[in-house]
Amino acid sequence: MKNIRKFVVLSALQVFQAALYAQDELRQDIDIEAFIEELFALQEEEINYEDLYESLLQTHLNRLPLNQVQAEGLQSLYILSPLQVNSLLSYREQVGPLLSIYELQAVPHWDLETIRRIAPFVTIGDSAGQPVGGLWRKLKDERDAYFILRHRRVWQMRKGFTPPDTLRDGSVSSRYQGDPNDLYARFRIQHANDYSIGFTLNKSQGEAFVWDQATDRYGFNFSSFHATFMQKGRWKSISLGDYQLQFGQGLVYGAGFSVGKGAESITTVRRSTLGVRPYSSVLEFGFFRGAAATYQVGRWELTGHYSRAPRDARIQTQVDSLDQPSDFFSSLLQSGLHRTSSEISAKSQAREDNVGGNINYRSANRNFQWGMNTLFTRYNRPFIPTARVYNGFEFRGESNQVHSTYFSHNYQNYFFFGESAVSKSGGQGSILGVMSSLHPHINLSLLWRKFDRNFHTFYGNAFSEGTRPINEEGVYLGLSYTPSRKFSWNGYYDYFRFPWMRFRVYAPSQGSEWLMRWSYRPDKRTHLFVQVRQESKARNLLSAMQQGVTYQLAQANRRNFVVNLDHQFSAVWSMKSRIQASRFTFGESNTAGFAIVQDVQGEWNNLRISGRLALFDTEDYENRQYVYEKNVLWAFSLPAYHGQGLRYYLLGQWRISQKLTLWARWARTAYTDRESIGTGLQEIQGNAVSETTAQLRYQFNR
């Protein structure tokens, strides 16, 4: 009966196949710009886009097999509603395995837009077919292998590259020790759900290309290597080198692709258990270096890992009551930059040891999941941050431990999830939430979180208003309404409070944030959306605004408004027009800013060219405008438009042959309200700054 139904379904789909995108078009590179626009309400500098990009790449290269993947994997893409996830699982049970990606059209509540968005992350085959032979033969014949070499440079002279000055005391002022070139190299060879081997090298502008063991510099300033093997008998994964872990709701292990509050108001509140993931980014923090492995016994999975990694830190010396000196570090640095003598002196000054694990259970029908996490961290010196009025409950000492238990349960169109953790200090963190499809056109998400002021987790990345899950309580409500394929509405409201003081907020405070986005798609070539977002958050009043009692607070209110139109005129030409504005109110101050952006793109057989012209005018830095820019493959550009001026760039991509692809990008910002750009060693004399980026990718066995 299933085969008969399958034949009828596929025969009907052939009638509509001409209206679908071509298979190759469905498999094209991820349109990261469109993906970010869907997920993020507003691009901001606090979001770790580099890590986001790497996580997207991991999922893109390790596509989920549609005929085997369960709810957890589907939810990890942040694309499907609970109703769509259940519809696919039910369809597989009733009809059997999918035979083609085109068959997704027959799944109830799925449409062409959903299929287009999910296509780069899934495959019909079982892990894309495992290669045969030994490892050397696999490496020699693997088609998914590439090498990337990238160069970037700002062409105006920054102060850090000028000759040093002699100060009054006879000392010489600080300058960068390297050249102004950014260099990046990356090699990766892998097969989905079988193995992944690669390395990443990076040198930022101002860093010297030297071999110096004393300062832990070996040519490139940063290097990363990983070798990960998957599905080897009962060993689900074995990873050597650099890796990340993601389990539960991110209170203990929160690596990978996590969004939080965004224009996608439903699916992004929940984290997925993805386990061990190879690390290949150039960020010099937030990863483990050592070994990790996952062993599967029936419905149980056991993961253990050990890591010993260097960390940048400022070392200081203190003398105890017996006049005995001892070293400690007052801060852990995350910039990863080693350009000046001061920055180089902090490189790899701390050693961080981590040992931990996970136990994970999934029920036979995959609808229920339960697990436990544990992580022990030890530094080679005590960590004693400089005492401030707001950081009295931050971590201090040489060691920390954090443990948690989590669950998720899929009941019909309801996804329940949660995690609760406790750290060595006794501080606790908890998350509890639900996602639901109340109606084929209405989806809801609800999440509560509470993080104590002394809850310490170093690798957590849970849903929160702050950049870390600490000193926060809040309730989030998200709704989406899709009355038809042409119209949709998304919105959320988030109330949060901070029981203890924070940076620039010297008293307990509270705030709220809401967003609404209206989208209109009259056809597959056109997308128009209007978005309004408002945030209210307390901060210290400036001294000039205070009378009498010091450390008074006031609510800072920020409202952002965006109108965006995407239209594809033909198979060759497309364009994006965007207007965004903001208003910031704090005390008696009321300022505003806006940006007008026009993008054009042309695409031919082996050539793609895109460009932008942006006009911006902001009264202060509080109204800076962030707009994502296209860049070379797997690179980000997210400048802050502030002040008055023009921003424009031109990007070209040329596929020279089956194996070789070239990208080239030129960008320039010209200001009309200043004679110098930047401050400190980054200062440029003049009112314009321009940069170029060139990248080559060589694909083996093509």
pLDDT digits (tens, 9 = 90+) for 385-415: 988 888 989 999 999 999 999 999 988 888 9
Interior/surface letters 101-121, b for 16+ CB within 10 angstroms, e for the rest = bbbbbbbebbeeebbbbbbbb
**Tens digit of pLDDT for each residue in 439-459?**
889 999 999 999 999 999 999
Tens digits of per-residue pLDDT, 301-342? 999 999 999 999 988 887 666 667 788 888 888 888 999 999
Confidence of residue 176 (pLDDT cuts 50, 70, 90): very high
What is the reported pLDDT for 448? Answer: 97
Predicted local distance difference test score (pLDDT) of residue 112: 78
Beta-carbon contacts of residue 159 (< 8 Å; ≥ 6 apart)? 680, 681, 682, 683, 684
- Number of Cβ within 10 Å of residue 373's Cβ equals 27
Six-digit token string for 64: 């989920």
pTM (two decimals): 0.89
More confident residue, 245 or 16: 245
Residue whose token pair is 């890590």: 51
Query: Tokens in use for 102?
Result: 């085109």
Q: Per-residue pLDDT averaged across 510-538, rounded?
A: 94
Residue 79 pLDDT: 79
Burial level of 127, CB count in 10 A (0-12/13-18/19+)?
A: middle
Pairing between strand 325-332 and 350-362?
unpaired
Angle (deg, nearest 10), helices 2-16 and 82-95: 120
Q: Which two tokens stand for residue 329?
A: 């570090």
Residues in CB range of 594: below 8 A, 6 or more apart: 579, 580, 581, 582, 616, 617, 618, 625
Q: Residue 164, exposed/middle/buried by CB under 10 A (0-12, 13-18, 19+)? A: exposed
- Inform me whether the pLDDT recorded for 128 exceeds 50: no
pLDDT number for residue 34: 62
Share of the chain above pLDDT 70, in %: 87
Q: Name the pLDDT band for 562 (thresholds 50, 70, 90).
A: very high
pLDDT above 50: residue 121 = yes
Confidence class for position 243, pLDDT limits 50, 70, 90:
very high
Contact 513, 497 (CB under 8 A): no
CA 406-408-412 angle, to 5 degrees, is 165
Q: Cα–Cα distance between 344 and 202 in angstroms, integer?
A: 16
- Range of weakest confidence among 31-40, 42-51, 677-686: 42-51
Q: Please give the radius of gyration of the chain, using alpha carbons only, rounded to the nearest integer.
A: 26
Q: State residue 543's pLDDT score.
A: 67
- Residue 146: strand, helix, or coil: strand
513: which strand partners? Answer: 494, 535
Q: Give the model confidence (pLDDT) of 341-350 as tens digits.
A: 999 999 999 9
